[in-house]
A and B are shown apart, each in its own frame.
Chain A
Amino acid sequence: MSDDEIRDRALALAWIADPEERLDEVLELASSLAGTTRAHLYLAAGDERRLHLERTYGLSAAAPRGDAEGGAGVALPLPPLELRVAEDEDARIVPTPEGSFFSVPLRGANGLVGTIRVGPIASGKLPRGAEKDLRTAAPQLAVVVAGAHEAATLRRRAGDAEKRVAVGRRLQGSSLETGRFVTLLLRLAVRSTGADGGFVALADEGRLTLRAIAGLEEYTAAALATDLVEIVAETQSAFLRDADAAERLGVRSMLAVPLIAGARVEALLALVDLGGGRLDPASLVLLETLAEHIRLMLGNEQLFDEFVDRYLQTLRGLAESLDARSPATFGHHARVAAIADAVAAELGLSPDARDALRTAALVHDVGLAGVAASPDAYVADIEHPTIGAGMLESLPLAPGVVEAVEGHHEWFDGWGFPRGARGHQLHPLARILALAEFGVEAAGGDSVQPPWSPSRLAEEIRERRGSQFDPEVADAAVRLLDGGRMPDHTNGGGQWST
C-alpha cells in the first residue's frame, strides 16, 4: 500500500457511525499494518501523561482453549491497565507482560490523544515497512480516535440522562393506571354478579361511547350501548328501550346502571347475561359499591386528561419562552411545527399522525430548559432530546410523540445524536421532525448568517438525502420547496442568501 492509500484507509474509518465500532476498526487496521495479532488502545483522560487502557483487539483469540494442553488455570498475560508516558514519547518497541509490543503515540491538534500498542512481536522487530506504515497512519488514526472517543463519551452521557429519566418514569407510572383499573373493576362486577359480560360506556349529551368491555363481543356491546339504552337526563334514569333487539343480540337479561356525578349521568355500567350465567339479585349491594368505584376512577381519569392538557400547554409555553431568548430563535417551535406539518401532509400522513407530529414539534426543544444551566453547552445540546422526551414519556400521548422529540437530531444514516439510531430504527415522525428542525435551525438565519433561500434549502436537502434525511421525507420537502408550497422557514429577519 502506498502512503496515500494508508492515509485514505485510516481516514475512511471516521465514517463508521458507531463510535465503539470505529475504535475496533482502528485497532484492526493498526494490527494488520503491523502484521500482529493483537492491538491495544490507551487514551489520555485529562492528564496527558497518564493513559488508560480503553480497548483491546485480538486478546480473546489469544486465550488458551479449554485445557487441551493441560493448561487450565494458566493466567493469560494481560496488557497493563494504565501507562505513564513522556511528553516527547516517540514510536518504539516496548516490553510488556504479553511480550514485545510496538507503541505508536497518537497526536492530535490539542496534544497527545492516546497510544496504540501492537504486538506481540516475536522476533523483536516489526516486519519490513510496517513501522513506516504505522507512522504514516498515526496522524489520521489520531483524528479518528479523538472523534470516536468524544462521540462515545457523549453517548454515555446521553445514556446516563436516559437512566435518570427512566427513574422518574417509574415513580410516576403507578398513577397512570386508571384505565386498567376501570377494566379491572368491570371484570370484578361481572364476576361478582354472575353475569356473562359487561361494559362501561362514557355518556356525552345522551350519546354513549364504549370505554371498557369484558366478556362480550365488541359489536354486541356497541349495539347495546349506542342503540338500545335510553338515559333520561332529568331523572338520570337508565333502562333498555328495545327488549326485542336485545334478545336478537342473544341477551337474556341486562342491568344498566347510570354512574352519576353531580346531577349528570357521566357513564353507564352494564352487566349482561347471555344465558351462560345468571344475574344474582343478592349481589346488587356489592354492585352499588363497584359502580361507585368505577365512577370515581372515571372521574380521576378525566382529571388526569385535563392535567395532561394543562401540562402540555405548560411545556409549549416553556418552549416558546426558550425561543424568545433571541431574535434568531423567536417563533422557532411554531415554524418547525408548520414545516413538519406541511411535509407530513405532502407524505399523506393521517390526521392523527399529523396531530401527534404537531404536538411533538411544538415542544421538541423543551429539554433545553432542563440543561440550560449546564456549563458545557455541547453536552447540553447532546442531552436535550433525551431530557425533552423524558418530560413527555410518562403521559398517555399519541404514538410517536415521544419518539419524535427524542429523535429530532438523529440522522438517517446513524450519524446524529443522542443515540445514533439509524434508518427505520427512527420513528417516521422523528424523521420528519428532524428535517423540519434542520430547515429552521440551519437555514432560518441568525446573527451570523442570513437565511437560506428556498432553492438553496432544497439543494442542501437534496445533497443530504439518504445521509441526514430519510429519502422519502427529503423528496417531499424538496417538492414543497420547489413548488413554493413550503411554509416560511426563516425568522423573518434579513435577506436570502443563495
Chain B
Amino acid sequence: MEHVTRREGGATIVELSGDVDVGGAQQLRDVLGDALTEGPVVVDLSNVRFIDSAGIGLLVTAHRRAIEQGTTFAIAAPSEGAQRVLSLTRTDRLLVVHPTIEAALGG
C-alpha cells in the first residue's frame, strides 16, 4: 500500500493506492490518526486495487473517532474493486462515501 497526504479545501486528503490489507494496517492507522488531528479527512480510494476487511475496519474506526471529535470523515471516488468490497461488506451503509473528491469536499 502507498499513500500520499495533501491539504485541499480545508480538509486533509489521504490518497491510498495498491492493496489495503492486514499488512498495511499499522501504516494506515498512523496516517489516518495523524490526518484526524488536523480536522476533516477525505480518503481517496480511486487508485486502490483491493481493500480487505482489515482496511475497511480501520476506515470504520477513523469514522467513529471523527464523530467523537466532532469532525468529518469521508471516502471518495472508490475504484471498482474498492466499491465492490464496500458493497459486499455493507460498509457503504456505515461509512460516508462520495463518488468524487469534489463531492466529498463540497459535502
Contact = CB atoms under 8 A, between A and B. Distances in A.
Interface of A: 229-230, 232, 235-244, 246-247, 251-258, 260, 270, 273, 279, 281, 284-285, 287-288, 291
A284 B51 CA distance: 12
B22 A237 contact: no
Interface string B46-85: 0001101110111011000000000000000000110011
Chain B, interface SS category: helix
A260 B87 CA distance: 12
Interface string B2-36: 00000000000000000101110110010000000
A258 B90 contact: yes
A247 B50 CA distance: 18
A123 B84 CA distance: 99
What are the nearest 7 A-B pairs in CB distance?
A243-B25, A281-B81, A253-B21, A243-B54, A235-B93, A239-B57, A240-B53
A254 to B, nearest CB: 5
Contacts of A291: 88
Contacts of A270: 53
**B: interface residue count bin:** 20 to 34
B57 to A, nearest CB: 4
Contacts of A238: 53, 89-91
Given A255-B85, A258-B90, A284-B84, 19 more contacts: A229-B53, A235-B93, A237-B89, A239-B53, A240-B56, A243-B25, A246-B54, A253-B21, A253-B22, A253-B54, A254-B21, A254-B53, A255-B53, A255-B88, A279-B52, A281-B49, A281-B84, A281-B85, A284-B88
Contact of B81 (A230, A252, A284): A284
Nearest to B48: A281
Interface of B: 19, 21-23, 25-26, 29, 49-50, 52-54, 56-58, 60-61, 80-81, 84-85, 88-91, 93-94
A273 B21 CA distance: 10
B11 to A, nearest CB: 23
B88 A235 contact: no
Contacts of A255: 52-53, 85, 88-89
Contacts of B58: 243
A230 B89 CA distance: 11
Contacts of B90: 235-238, 258, 260
B54 to A, nearest CB: 4
23 contacts: A235-B91, A237-B60, A237-B91, A238-B53, A238-B91, A239-B91, A240-B54, A241-B57, A243-B29, A243-B54, A244-B26, A252-B23, A253-B19, A253-B21, A253-B22, A254-B52, A254-B53, A279-B50, A279-B52, A281-B85, A284-B88, A288-B88, A291-B88
A247 B22 contact: yes
A278 to B, nearest CB: 8
B89 A257 contact: yes
A257 B91 CA distance: 10
Give the one of A229, A237, A260 with max B CB within 10 A: A237
A54 B31 CA distance: 91
A230 B61 CA distance: 11
Contacts of B52: 240, 253-255, 273, 279
Contacts of B91: 235, 237-239
B84 A236 contact: no
A281 B45 CA distance: 14
B53 A232 contact: no
A192 to B, nearest CB: 14
A239 B89 CA distance: 7
Contacts of A251: 22, 54
Nearest to A242: B57
Given A235-B93, A253-B54, A254-B53, A243 B85 contact: no
Contacts of B54: 239-240, 243, 246, 251, 253-254
B93 A236 contact: yes
Nearest to B21: A253
Given A237-B93, A240-B56, A253 B23 contact: yes
A189 B22 CA distance: 20
Contacts of B23: 247, 252-253
B22 A252 contact: yes
A287 B23 CA distance: 23
